[in-house]
C-alpha cells in the first residue's frame, strides 16, 4: 500500500526541519524524509527577529533562548592596511526601535530543539531514508526511497542541500562559484564582556567576524586563504589564542579558543528556478552563501514562510502547482539581491584594484554619514520588502543630513 501525504519535506537540516514544522502547523500531513544530520556542527547561526518570530510560533524558541545571545550592535572595523580604509561603522538596534537585531544561537541546541518538536508533532511522519527518485503523477508527486518505499505527496519541499536529489528529479540546474577562501569557525572565551556587540573586521583575506554568545563567550568566523588553514588548524593553542586576540585588536582582552573548531570552504550557489510544478526549493537546495552578513538560515526561513503561505493561498497542497511561479518570482528577488550584495562585499575585500577599495570605503562612509539611508539599510537588512512608499528614505532629509556632516 502506497502511503499518501499532503507534503513531503526532503532533507533533515535546520531548513527542512523548520519546513516540516511549518507545514504541520497548517494542519497538513507531512512525510519528513530525513536521515539524521551529523551531530558535530560547531557553528552558530545569527537569526534576525523575523526568524526568531518563526521559531517562537513553531515552539522552538523557548527551548534555545538560554543558549542565545542578543545582537544589539553590529560594528564594522577596517582591519586592512590599504590606502583607502573605511571609517568605523556601528549599527544599533535602538536606532530602529528594536531591543536587538536578533540572536546568535549554537547550531547543536537549535537542531536538537527543532528535532524534538518534530518528534512531538503527530502530523509529521519521520522517514530516515534517502530519496532515490521523484516524478509527477497526475495531481501528486510519486516518491521512491532508497529502501524501496513508495509514497505520494501533493507537494515536495526540497531541503536536501547543495547536491539535492529532489532538485535533480525536478530538472532544475544550478550555478556554482567558489572563492579562494576557507572559513575557520570556532568559539572562544574572553576576559572582557562583549556587551552584545558583534564586530566584523574587514581584512585583506576576507571578514573576521566575532558574534556574541551567552556570558563572556563569542563565536568567530575567520575567512582566510586556503593555504593558511593547515597551519592555523595545527597551531599550538597558546599561539592561536594570541593570534585571535591580535586580530581583534584586544577589544575583548585575553581569549581562550575552545576545542572543536572546524574549516569550511567558501562558495556560493543559486538555482535556475526556485520551484517547478509541485517541487519547491528552500535553503541550500535553492541558494548557498559564504558565512557573511547573517544571510544563510534567515533566507532559508523566509523560503519556508513563503512556500507555505503561497501553497496555502492557492487552496492547499492539492493545488500546489499553481503556486510555483509566484513563489519562484518572489524568492528570486530577495535571494538575488542578497547574493549580489554578499558577493560584492567579499570581492571588494579581496581585490587589490584601487577603485574597488574606494567603492567599499566610500560606500560605508556614506552609509554612516547619512542617517535616513543608514536606517533604511538596517530595516531592509532585517526584513526585506518592508519598504512602503511612505517609508522610503526621504531624499531631502538625506541631503540635509549629509550637508550637516560635511559642514555645509
pLDDT in tens, 175-211: 998 888 899 999 999 999 999 999 989 888 888 999 9
**How much of the chain, in percent, has pLDDT values that exceed 90?**
65
Structure confidence at residue 396 (pLDDT): 46
Give the Cα separation of 403 and 408 in Å (integer): 5
- 82: confidence class by pLDDT, cuts 50, 70, 90: low
Mean local confidence (pLDDT), 98-114? 93
Structure confidence at residue 79 (pLDDT): 66
- Considering the chain, what is the average pLDDT of its residues? 86
Q: What is the pLDDT of residues 145-163, one digit of tens each?
A: 999 999 999 999 999 999 9
- 214: confidence class by pLDDT, cuts 50, 70, 90: very high
**Residue whose C-alpha cell reads 527518485 in the numeric block:** 133
Collapsing DSSP states into helix, strand and coil, what is residue 152?
strand
Q: Which residue has the higher pLDDT, 371 or 82?
A: 371
Distances from the Cα of 225 to the Cα of 28, 186, 206, 228, angstroms = 47, 17, 9, 6
Q: What is the pLDDT of residues 125-150, one digit of tens each?
A: 999 999 999 999 999 999 999 999 99
Structure confidence at residue 339 (pLDDT): 72
Structure confidence at residue 402 (pLDDT): 47
Write down the H helix ranges in 149-199: 165-169
Collapsing DSSP states into helix, strand and coil, what is residue 148?
coil
Phi, psi (degrees; rounded to nearest 5) at 334: -65, -50
Mean pLDDT lowest for which of 53-62, 72-81, 199-208? 72-81
- 77's CB contacts (< 8 A; 6+ apart) are 88, 199, 200, 201, 202, 249
Domain segments of the chain as ranges: 3-62+106-175+269-342, 69-104+179-265, 352-406
Structure confidence at residue 87 (pLDDT): 74
Q: Which residue has the higher pLDDT, 292 or 112?
A: 112
CATH for 3-62+106-175+269-342, options being 3.40.50.2000, 3.50.50.60, 3.40.50.150, 3.10.400.10: 3.50.50.60
- 383: confidence class by pLDDT, cuts 50, 70, 90: low
pLDDT at 281 over 70: yes
Predicted TM-score of the model (pTM): 0.86
Give the Cα separation of 300 and 298 in Å (integer): 5
Q: What is the DSSP string of 268-297?
A: EEEES-SEETTEEE-GGGTEE--S-TT-HH
Mean local confidence (pLDDT), 6-14? 96
Q: How far is CA 7 from the centre of its chain?
A: 24
pLDDT at 386 over 70: no
Best-predicted range by mean pLDDT (69-83, 156-170, 326-340, 345-359):
156-170
As its CATH architecture, domain 69-104+179-265 has 2-Layer Sandwich (3.30)
Structure confidence at residue 398 (pLDDT): 45
Inter-residue contact 255 to 186 (CB < 8 Å): no
Mean pLDDT lowest for which of 94-103, 163-172, 257-266, 360-369? 360-369
Mean local confidence (pLDDT), 90-95? 89
- 233: confidence class by pLDDT, cuts 50, 70, 90: very high
Structure confidence at residue 210 (pLDDT): 95
Inter-residue contact 118 to 124 (CB < 8 Å): yes
Q: Which residue has the higher pLDDT, 340 or 226?
A: 226
Could you say which DSSP state residue 198 is in? E
Q: What is the pLDDT of residues 249-258, one digit of tens each?
A: 999 999 999 9
Residue 76's CB is within 10 A of a number of other CB atoms, namely 21
Which stretch of DSSP H or E encloses residue 115?
A: helix 107-119
Q: Which residue has the higher pLDDT, 337 or 62?
A: 62
pLDDT at 395 over 90: no
Amino acid at each position: 500500500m502506497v502511503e499518501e501525504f499532503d507534503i513531503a519535506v526532503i532533507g533533515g537540516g535546520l531548513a527542512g526541519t523548520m519546513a516540516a514544522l511549518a507545514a504541520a502547523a497548517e494542519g497538513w500531513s507531512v512525510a519528513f524524509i530525513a536521515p539524521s544530520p551529523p551531530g558535530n556542527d560547531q557553528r552558530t547561526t545569527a537569526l534576525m527577529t523575523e526568524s526568531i518570530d518563526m521559531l517562537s510560533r513553531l515552539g522552538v524558541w523557548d527551548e534555545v533562548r538560554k543558549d542565545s545571545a542578543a545582537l544589539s550592535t553590529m560594528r564594522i572595523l577596517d582591519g586592512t592596511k590599504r590606502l583607502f580604509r573605511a571609517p568605523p561603522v556601528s549599527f544599533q538596534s535602538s536606532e530602529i526601535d528594536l531591543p536587538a537585531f536578533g540572536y546568535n544561537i549554537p547550531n547543536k541546541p537549535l537542531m536538537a530543539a527543532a528535532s524534538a518538536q518534530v518528534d512531538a508533532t503527530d502530523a509529521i511522519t519521520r522517514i530516515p531514508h534517502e530519496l532515490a527518485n521523484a516524478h509527477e503523477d497526475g495531481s501528486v508527486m510519486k516518491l521512491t526511497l532508497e529502501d524501496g518505499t513508495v509514497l505520494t505527496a501533493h507537494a515536495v519541499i526540497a531541503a536536501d542541500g547543495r547536491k539535492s536529489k529532489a532538485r535533480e528529479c525536478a530538472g532544475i540546474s544550478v550555478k556554482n562559484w567558489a572563492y579562494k577562501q576557507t572559513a575557520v569557525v570556532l568559539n572562544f572565551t574572553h576576559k572582557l564582556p562583549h556587551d552584545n556587540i558583534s564586530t566584523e573586521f574587514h581584512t585583506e583575506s576576507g571578514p573576521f567576524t566575532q558574534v556574541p554568545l551567552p556570558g563572556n563567550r563569542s563565536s568567530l568566523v575567520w575567512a582566510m586563504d586556503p593555504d593558511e588553514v593547515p597551519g592555523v588548524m595545527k597551531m599550538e593553542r597558546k599561539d592561536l589564542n594570541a593570534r585571535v586576540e591580535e586580530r581583534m585588536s584586544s577589544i575583548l582582552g585575553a581569549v581562550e579558543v575552545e576545542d572543536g573548531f572546524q574549516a569550511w570552504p567558501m562558495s556560493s550557489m543559486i538555482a535556475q528556478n526556485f520551484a517547478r510544478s509541485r517541487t519547491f526549493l528552500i535553503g541550500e537546495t535553492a541558494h548557498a552563501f559564504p558565512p557573511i552578513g547573517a544571510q544563510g538560515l534567515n533566507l532559508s526561513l523566509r523560503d519556508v514562510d513563503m512556500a507555505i503561505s503561497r501553497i496555502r493561498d492557492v487552496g492547499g497542497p492539492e493545488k500546489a502547482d499553481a503556486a510555483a511561479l509566484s513563489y519562484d518570482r518572489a524568492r528570486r528577488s530577495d535571494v538575488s539581491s542578497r547574493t549580489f550584495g554578499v558577493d560584492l562585499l567579499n570581492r571588494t575585500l579581496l581585490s587589490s584594484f584601487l577603485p574597488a577599495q574606494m567603492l567599499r570605503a566610500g560606500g560605508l562612509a556614506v552609509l554612516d554619514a547619512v542617517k535616513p539611508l543608514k536606517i533604511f539599510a538596517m530595516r531592509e537588512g532585517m526584513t526585506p520588502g518592508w519598504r512602503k512608499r511612505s517609508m522610503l528614505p526621504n531624499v531631502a532629509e538625506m541631503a540635509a543630513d549629509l550637508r550637516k556632516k560635511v559642514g555645509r
